[in-house]
Amino acid sequence: MKLFRHGPPGNERPGMLDAQGVRRDLAAVVADISPHTLGPDALARLARLDPSRLPEVDPAARLGPCVGQIGNVIAIGLNYADHAAEAGLPIPKQPIVFGKHTAAVSGPHDDIWLPPGAQKLDWEVELAVVIGQPAWHVDQGEALRCVAGYCLANDVSERAYQLEMEGQWIKGKSYPTHCPLGPWLVTADEIPDPQAVELWLDVNGTPRQRGSTRAMIFGVAQIVSYLSRFMRLLPGDVILTGTPPGVGTGQRPPVFLRPGDVITLGSSLLGQQRQRVVAAPVTG
């Protein structure tokens, strides 16, 4: 299944795609695409629906982040060897773990805000993992059973905040709009091998990132198992699994985002996103 959320920010409704790619509204069936609807039993009930009996969604309606009520956004850094190389950093021996504030989550086509005074806003196309069952000290061989599905993510990063100020990476990763998710939550049964997902990203039509999750240093099952040793992963938690090479800071010379720039990114399995960079509002 491909699930989504549509409507104004903060008031999104659940939806699903039918076999013809028509958007259908699920509000009469479930309240949201959220931790309560991500377990295997709940997803199985949705899979048994006849989408043709559901109301159509206006194709012009805004798409929100494909998961609501997210508890945690956890991210893995430098998880592609060639990305570590372009950053001039050694290949990690264990996953590098950091967080993004949940208020950074936004819809797949929402504008991206350039923070006031920011000079080094960067892009990162990633495979995101959405947890569907609690994972706590789970073996690697069982880890994928805890995954509800996958989605596309843009781990937008302000590199000066991330790398040039004292403290943790989370400061450069958490500005509002800096975690677009979607358009679809693709359930795990449609992606039996998360290490075979192609990813791409363009800026203003110029190809910047081309990669595949097969090049990850730490695969999805290993990441879920590893994280579950240190924290209890819960339904609705989202894990960003790292980015392939081609980020702005890795260009020679570096290239960073400015107002008016347009980012497009996607995957044949996960759908596509499009964002325009705008100056951040000073209030709100």
Cα torsion angle, 85, 90, 96, 101, sign:
negative
Phi and psi, residue 37, nearest 5°: -115, 15
Domains recognised in the chain with CATH numbers: 68-279 (3.90.850.10)
Distance CA 236, CA 36 (A): 8
Average pLDDT, rounded, for the chain: 96
**pTM greater than 0.75 (yes/no):** yes
Phi and psi, residue 201, nearest 5°: -150, 135
pLDDT in tens, 161-171: 998 998 889 99
Q: Read off the amino acid at residue 26.
A: L
User: Within its chain, how far is the Cα of 51 from the centroid?
Assistant: 26
Residue owning tokens 């086509």? 109
Nearby residues of 50 by Cβ (< 8 Å), 6 or more positions away: none
Q: Are 43 and 1 in contact (CB under 8 A)?
A: yes
The pLDDT value recorded for residue 86 is 82
pLDDT in tens, 222-257: 999 999 999 999 999 999 999 999 999 999 999 999
